[in-house]
Amino acid sequence: MVESATTRILLRLGALATLVFLYAPLAVIALYAFNAQVTQGWPIQDWSTKWFRVAYEDEAVRSALWLSVKAALGATIVAMVLGMLLSLAVSRYRFFGRETVSFLVVLPIALPGIITGLSLQTTFQNVGIAFGLLTIIVGHATFCIVVVYNNALARLRRMSGSFEEASADLGADSWQTFRHVTFPELRTPLLAGALLAFALSFDEVIVTLFTSGAQQTLPIWIFANLQRPRELPVVNVVALFVLLASIVPVYLAQKLSRGAATGVPGGEK
Amino acid sequence: MTSVAHSDPSPRPRLGRRVSAFFDRHPRIRLAALLALPVAWLLVVYIGSLANLLVASFWQTDPFTSQVVHTFTLDNFKHLWERDVYRHVAWRTIKMAALVTIADAVLAFPIAYYMARVASRRMRGVLIVAVVMPLWASYLVKAYAWRTMLAHSGALNWALGPIGLAGPGYTETGLWLVFTYLWLPFMILPVYAGLERIPSSMLEASSDLGAKALHTFFRVILPLAFPAVVAGSIFTFSLTLGDYIAPGLITSEQFMGTVIYSIRGQALPLAAAYTFVPIAVMVVYLFIARRLGAFENL
Amino acid sequence: MSKALKRALTGVALSGVLVFLAFAAAGCGGGGGGGSSAEDISGLGSSVDDIESKARDEGQVNLVIWSGYADPAWAKPFTQQTGCKVNTKDGASSDDMIDLLSSGQYDGVSASGNASVRLMARGDVAPINTDYIPNFADVQEGIKNQSYNSLDGKPYGVPHGRGPNLLMFRTDSVPENTDSWSVIWDKSGPYNGKLSIYDDSIFIADAAVYLKATQPDLKIDDPYELDDKQFSAAVDLLKKQAPQVSDYWPGDVAKQVQAFTNKDAVVGTTWPYQVNLLDAAKVPVKAVKPKEGTTGWSDTWMIYSKAQHPNCMYLWMNYIISPEAQAKVAESFGEAPVNPKACALTTDKQFCTKYHAEDESWWQDVYYWTTPTADCGDDRGEVCKTQEDWKAAWTEIRG
C-alpha cells in the first residue's frame, strides 16, 4: 500500500515521539552520572566526572560485572543446548504431549519472575543446594530456553524436512545429517537466540535476587547500591557504561537476525 | 550441496556409526533422546520447584518464630478469602497490567508500522537497534531515574511547568507511566515483526477496492497484526502482574508482587497461597493468547 | 475447548500432579537450622591467637547489617588488621534479616530485638564465648544479659549500640517547635500526602506508643503486647494514616533521604542515620524524640550457628565494640555507643552526652523493638497478638 504523504508524516512523527520517550530517561541517567552531588536533585547544580574514577576503582563493581558475565555465559550455553534439542524434537516429530511441551517451555518466561524466583529459592533451600553461580545459572537458563527455542523452531519450520530426507536417502546417518545439513542452517538463529538470552540474563534481577544468595551479579550490586545514599552516582556511571558498551553487540545481533524471525525480546526476566 | 557421503572427511569410529545407525532405525528412541534433557529440566527444575512452592501453601506458620510447620491446613486460603485487602490488591494489579498493555500497544503501533512498511532498509536496521538499546540499560536504574523524574521537584514537573501542566508524581498514574515505559520495547518488536509479515498485496488490494487509509487500518491491518499484539501483551501483562520493585519505588500502593515479596519470608505458606492468583491469571491469559495465534508471533 | 488444548491441559496437569505428589511424599524439609552452642560452631579456633590465624585463612566475613553499620571508614581498618574482607547485605527489616540469615550464606547479623529473640528461638544463632572477645568486658553492664541478647543466662552476641526512632520534619514546612507525634496522627491534616513512614509491621508499636499517651483508657503498657482492643485501636489509627503517606520506606534509607530532599515528604519517622545524611546535604530538617516517647532499637551482633567464617566473625564482634570502632559507628549513624571508652574518642567531645549514652532515664520511654508474642507477660495471660497477627495486619493497613 502506498501510504499517503500525510500518513507517512504522522507515522514519522509518532516514531520520533516514541523514540524521545524511550531515550529521555536514559539521557537523565547519563546526566546524573556527571552530577557532583550525592543527592539526586533537579536541576543538576554541580557537574563532575569524579564518579567515573570511583566506579573504575571499585572492586565490587568489577567482580559483579565478572560474575554477571559468567552467569550469562553459563545460562546461554545451557539454553542453547536445551532449546536446540527441544526445537528439533518439536519441529520434526509428532508425539503425544507436543502441545504440552510447547506450552511448558513458555511458562518460565510468561509467569511472573517473583513466582519463579520464590519457587527456586524455596526448593534450593529445602534440598540443601548452596546458593551461588550454579543456582543463578539454573534460574536464568530456565527462562532463556524459550528464547533460543523460538528462534530455532522458526528456522526449522521454514526449512522443509526434504533436505534432511535427501541427506538420509544419500546414505548419511542421523548424526551426519544433523552435522552437515541441519546444524549449519541453525547456526544463525541459535546465535541470535544466544545473544538475546545473554542480554536477558545479564540484566536480570527479579529472579536473581532469590537465587544468588550472598553473591552479587551486576544488577544485584546495582540494587544494593541504589539503596545507599552515598553510592547513587556510581550506579548511574555503571549503568551508562553498560549501556554504551552494549551498542556493538546489539548492532551485531541485529545484523545476524536479519532474515531470521525476530526472536522474543530480552529484558528483566 | 555436496553429497553428504563425500563430505565426511574423518574416519568414524565404529561405535559412533553404530550408535547413529541405531538411532536411525529407532526414531522413537531418537525422539526420546532429543526430548529427555530439555523436558527433564523443565519438569524437574521448573515445574518441580513450582509444585514445591505451591505445596507450601498448605502448611502452617509458627506464630512466633515464623518457621514453616508441616501440618496440613487450608487456613491460608481462608485468610486470603476473608480479608478484602487481598482481593483489592489483586484487582488493582490486574487493572494496572491491562492499562499498561493497552498503552504499550497504542504507543508501539506507529513506530512499528513505520519500521515495517515505511522506513528504508538501512533505517529499519538503525531503528531496531534504537528500540532494543534501552533494554540494555538496567531495569533498576531506569526505574530509579523515573523516581527522580517524577519527584515533586524532578525533571518532569520542571519540563511541564512552563506550559502549566504537572507530572503525575508518585501516584498510580505515575506508576502506569513507568511500567508503560519499561516494557515498551517488548511490544514494539513483536508488533513490528507481525506488521512486516503482512503481504503488501493485501494492502494494495484494500486500497484498490476503494478503502481509505483509516478503513484499511481497522479492517485489514489491525486484524492481521492482532496476534502479534497479543504476543507482545504476554510480556507487558506478565511483567506488570508480578513486579515487586517498581511499585515500591513510585507509589505507596501495594500490588500482588509487593505483597508476596513482603510476606515471603515470615509467612511463606501465605505467600505461596497468594501466588495461585497470578499463576491462574497468566495460565488463562496464555491459553487465550495461544487461541488467538500469539505463540506463532513470539 | 479444542482437542489440542485439552491435551495440553491434561499434560501439564498430569506432570504437575506427579511432581507435586513426589514432593509431598518426600516431605520436603522446612526452614531453620538446628540449635547449637558456641562450642559447636565448627571451625572456630580455641584461643584468641588461634582465631586470629584461622581468620587469615578464612579471608572474609559476610554480614547482614542495617544500612550504615559497616561503612568502609571502620570496615577497611578491620580488613587491614585481620585480613578479613567485609562483605555486607543491607536488611530492609528484621523480618528480612531473618530470611537472609536462614539462607545460610551469611556469618553474622546486627539483629534488633525483634529479630534476635526469634533467631535465638529458631537456633539460627549461637551463644558466644566471651573469653574470645576481650572487649566484651568494657561493654556497659546495663546492656548485658537482656532478654533480647541472651538466653538461659548465656550471652548470644555483642551489643552494637542503641537508638531511638525519631520524628523528623522539614523546618520549612513544619513548625520548629514540634514535639509531639500528633503531626503524623490526628494532626497530620496539613501534611496530607507528605508523610514518610517505616514500612514494617513493627510500626504498629509506634501507634501503640501514641495511644498509650493519648488514650489512657486503653491501658496500654507495653506497646508490643497488645490485646484485641488495644490492637484494633492501633490498627484503626494506622489505617487512617495510610492514605496520607507518600513514602513507606523499607530500610531503603536512600528512598527516604530522596523524598525529604525533594519535598515529597516533609514529616515522618526515621533513624538518626538519615538525619545525619540530610544534614550533610544541607536539607533543613530537625529530628526530635517526641514527648509521648518512642520506639527504638538495641542491636546485637550475632553469629550464625553454621557460619562459614566463624573466626573472622569473632574478630569482627570484638572489633566493633572496641572504643575506636564504636566512636566511628556511633557518630556516623547517630546512635549511642555501648562501650563508654568510645566517648573519649568521638570527634564531637559532647557526643555521648548529646546521645544520652549513659543517661538511663532518657531511655525510659524508648521501647526497644521486640517480637510480639501471645503471652502478654502480665495478668492478662496469653491473649496478646502474635508476630503473625501483626504481619497480617500490616498488609491490611497498607491497603
pLDDT digits (tens, 9 = 90+) for A67-77: 999 999 999 99
How far apart are alpha carbons C281 and A48 in whole angstroms?
A: 17
CB B65 within 8 A of CB C118: yes
Residue A268 pLDDT > 70, yes or no?
A: no
Average pLDDT over residues C163-192: 94
> C5, C19, C249, C256: which to substitute to probe chain B, counting the most B Cβ within 10 Å?
C19
pLDDT tens by residue, B63-84: 888 889 999 999 999 999 999 9
The alpha-carbon gap from B93 to the nearest alpha carbon of chain A, in Å, equals 12
- Over residues B228-239, the mean pLDDT reads 94
Q: Is B282 on the interface with A (CB under 8 A)?
A: yes
Q: Which of C67, C103, C257 sits opposite A39 (nearest CB)?
A: C257
Exposed, middle or buried by CB within 10 Å (0-12, 13-18, 19+), for C165?
Answer: buried
Among all residues of chain C, which has the CA nearest to that of B54?
A: C20
Residues C188-199, mean pLDDT to the nearest whole number: 93
pLDDT value at C30 more than 50: no
* Chain A 191-220, residues with CB within 8 Å of chain C CB atoms: 213-214
Interface of A with B in 65-94 (CB under 8 A): 81-83, 85-86, 88-89, 93
- In terms of Cβ atoms closer than 10 Å to its own Cβ (0-12, 13-18, 19+), residue C91 is buried
Cα C346 to Cα C74: distance, rounded to the nearest angstrom: 13
Residue C40: the pLDDT is 67
Q: What is the pLDDT of residue A99?
A: 87
- Band of pLDDT at residue B241, cut at 50, 70 and 90: very high
Range with the lowest mean pLDDT among A239-248, B161-170, B251-260, C23-32? Answer: C23-32
Check CB contact under 8 Å for B181 and A258. no
* C197 pLDDT tier (thresholds 50, 70, 90): very high
pLDDT at C266 over 90: yes
Mean pLDDT of A43-60: 88
| Contact between A262 and B193 using a beta-carbon 8 Å cutoff | yes
Q: Which of B144, B266, B279 to mutate to test the interface with C (most CBs of C within 10 A)?
A: B266
Report CB contact under 8 Å: A29, B142. Answer: yes
Q: Distance (Å, rounded) from C-alpha C334 to C-alpha C42?
A: 36
Cross-chain residue pair B66–C392, CB shorter than 8 Å = no
Instruction: Tell me how far apart the alpha carbons of residues C209 and C365 are, in angstroms, rounded to a whole number.
Output: 9
Interface check A22 vs B, CB under 8 A: yes
For residue C15, what pLDDT is reported?
Answer: 61
Task: Indicate the residue of A101, A103, A171 with minimum beta-carbon distance to B39.
Answer: A101
CA distance C252 to chain A (A): 5
Strongest mean pLDDT among A146-155, B129-138, C287-296? C287-296
Residue position matching grid coordinates 501471645: C374
**Residue B157 in this model has a pLDDT that exceeds 50:** yes
Percent of chain A at pLDDT > 90 equals 44
| Nearest-CA distance B198 → chain A (Å) | 11
Q: Rounded mean pLDDT of chain B?
A: 89
Q: Which of B25-34, B166-175, C268-277 has the lowest mean pLDDT?
A: B25-34
| pLDDT value of residue B8 | 54
Rounded Cα distance between B217 and A12, Å, is 17
Average pLDDT, chain C: 88
pLDDT of C8: 55
Chain A contacts of B235, Cβ < 8 Å? 265, 267, 269
Chain A residues in contact with C89 by the CB 8 A cut-off are 214, 224
**pLDDT band for position B12 (50/70/90)?**
low
CB distance from B21 to chain A under 8 Å? yes
Q: Considering CB atoms only, which of A213, A214, A229 is closest to C257? A: A229
Q: How confident is the model at residue C25 (pLDDT cuts 50, 70, 90)?
A: very low
Interval C349-383: pLDDT, tens: 889 998 998 888 999 999 999 999 999 988 888 99
Q: What does the pLDDT read at residue A266?
A: 38
Banded pLDDT at A263 (limits 50, 70, 90): very low
pLDDT for position B202 = 84
Chain C residues in contact with B54 (beta carbon < 8 A): 20
For C35-87, the pLDDT digits (tens) are 444 456 888 888 999 999 999 999 999 999 999 999 989 999 999 999 999 99
In this prediction the ipTM stands at 0.88
- Residue of B34, B46, B144 with shortest CB distance to A108: B46
Q: Which three cell numbers stand for residue B261?
A: 515479596
What confidence score (pLDDT) does residue C29 get? 42
Kindly list the partner chains of chain A, i.e. chains with 3 or more CB atom pairs below 8 Å.
B, C
The burial of C381, by beta-carbon neighbours within 10 Å (0-12 exposed, 13-18 middle, 19 or more buried), is given as: exposed
B114·A174 Cβ contact <8 A: no
Helices (H), B151-255: 155-160, 172-197, 200-208, 213-216, 222-242, 246-250
Q: Hey, are the CB atoms on C258 and A96 less than 8 Å from each other?
A: no
For residue B144, the chain C residue with the least C-alpha distance is: C255
Is some CB atom of chain B closer than 8 A to the CB atom of C24? yes
Binary contact (C89, A37; C-beta < 8 A): no
Mean pLDDT of B244-266: 92
Give the chain B residue whose CA is nearest to the CA of A147. B298
Mean pLDDT across the stretch B214-223? Answer: 85
B241 touches chain A (CB under 8 A): yes
User: Which pLDDT score, from 0 to 100, does residue C2 have?
Assistant: 55
**Nearest beta carbon to residue A268 from set B4, B239, B272:** B239
What pLDDT, in 10s, does the model give residues A251-262? Answer: 877 777 664 444
Rounded Cα gap, residues A216 and A228, in angstroms: 15
State residue A19's pLDDT score.
95
Q: At what angle do helices B268-291 and B49-56 cross, to 10 degrees?
A: 130
- The confidence band for C23, taking pLDDT boundaries of 50, 70 and 90, is low
Q: Average of pLDDT values for B247-252?
A: 90
Inter-chain touch C254–A228, beta carbons under 8 Å = yes
Mutate to test the interface with C, among A54, A100, A216 (most CBs of C within 10 A): A100
| Per-residue pLDDT tens over the stretch C221-264 | 999 999 999 999 999 999 999 999 988 998 888 889 989 988 89
Record the pTM. 0.89
Best of B20, B132, B179, B281 to disrupt the A interface (most A CBs within 10 Å) is B132
Q: Is the pLDDT of residue A265 over 70?
A: no
Residue B177 has pLDDT above 90, yes or no: yes
Q: Using one digit for the tens of pLDDT, what is the confidence trace for A104-139?
A: 999 999 999 999 999 999 999 999 898 999 999 999
* pLDDT tens, residue by residue, A5-49: 888 888 899 999 999 999 999 999 999 999 888 777 788 888 988
Amino acid C16: pLDDT: 59
**Average pLDDT value for residue range A221-250:** 87
Among C17, C86, C102, C105, which would you mutate to test the A interface (most chain A Cβ atoms within 10 Å of its Cβ)? Answer: C105
Would the CB atoms of B254 and C98 count as touching at under 8 Å? Answer: no
Query: Which is higher by pLDDT, C43 or B87?
Result: B87
* CA angle (B150 as vertex; B144, B155 as ends), nearest 5: 100
Chain C CB contacts of B151 under 8 Å are: 258, 262, 264
Give the pLDDT mean for B160-184.
92
User: B17 falls in which pLDDT band (50, 70, 90)?
Assistant: confident
CA distance A41 to chain C (A): 7
pLDDT at C28 over 50: no
Interchain contact, A250 vs B272, CB within 8 Å: no
What confidence score (pLDDT) does residue A145 get? 95
Give me the residue label for grid cell 566471651: C130
Shortest Cα distance from C95 to chain B (angstroms)?
6
**Cell numbers 556469618 correspond to what residue?**
C107
Average pLDDT for chain A: 87
Task: Write down the pLDDT at residue A189.
Answer: 86
- B254 and C122 within 8 Å at the Cβ level: the answer is no
pLDDT (average), residues C301-321: 95
